[in-house]
């Protein structure tokens, strides 16, 4: 085979390999960049959700603190359920599974407004229980934002366990 022809074929193969490597590099870089953008967007949405949770929890704490007595009226129930709906929707965006599930459990139990939960933990005062659960949730959300370990919680932990037991199918 002619040396000039061999050199030309090798040069052509080298160009193909170089073009393929450049193309693969561009594709990899674009995918990597797209993944970083998705992760950044998810983090921003999660941070907004945590901010919403903290504010809604504060609204619930304030609202419960302004009740003239411990009775749940229909108007209070509607107002509370509106806040709880906001909390449940915002909690869906929290990437931390334990935190998300604890807040969901607190929402299911209406932050201690559920009579069976109060009865199971032997807690009589509805208002104090609701305010305490909101406070514990806020502490956990603050620790999450600061990227600290979640603090130990008494009421949220019990609520999480209680809800988990509600949804467990007994062995037959």
SS3 per-residue string spanning the chain: CCHHHHHHHHHHHHHHHHHHHHHHHHHHHHHHHHHHHHHHHHHHHHHHHHHHHHHHHHHHHHHHHCCCCCCCCHHHHHHHHHHHHHHHHHHCCCCCHHHHHHHHHHHHCHHHCCHHHHHHHCCCCHHHHHHHHHHHHHHHHHHHHCCCCCCCCCHHHHHHHHHHHHCCCCCC
* pLDDT tens digits along 24-36: 888 899 998 989 9
> pLDDT grade, residue 123 (50/70/90)?
confident
* pLDDT tens digits along 137-153: 999 999 999 999 999 99
> What's this model's pTM, rounded to 2 decimal places?
0.75
């Amino acid at each position: 085979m002619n040396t000039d022809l061999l050199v030309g074929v090798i040069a052509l193969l080298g160009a193909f390999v170089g073009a393929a490597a450049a193309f693969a590099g561009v594709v990899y870089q674009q995918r990597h960049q797209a993944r970083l953008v998705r992760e950044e967007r998810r983090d921003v949405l999660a941070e907004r959700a945590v901010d919403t949770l903290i504010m809604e929890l504060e609204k619930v704490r304030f609202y419960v603190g302004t009740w003239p007595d411990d009775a749940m009226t229909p108007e209070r129930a509607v107002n509370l359920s509106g806040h709880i709906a906001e909390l449940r929707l915002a909690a869906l965006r929290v990437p931390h599974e334990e935190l998300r599930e604890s807040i969901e459990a607190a929402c299911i139990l209406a932050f201690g407004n559920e009579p069976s939960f109060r009865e199971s933990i032997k807690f009589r005062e509805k208002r104090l229980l609701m305010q305490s659960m909101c406070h514990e949730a806020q502490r956990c959300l603050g620790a999450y934002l600061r990227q600290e370990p979640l603090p130990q919680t008494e009421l949220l932990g019990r609520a999480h366990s209680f809800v988990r037991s509600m949804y467990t199918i007994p062995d037959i």
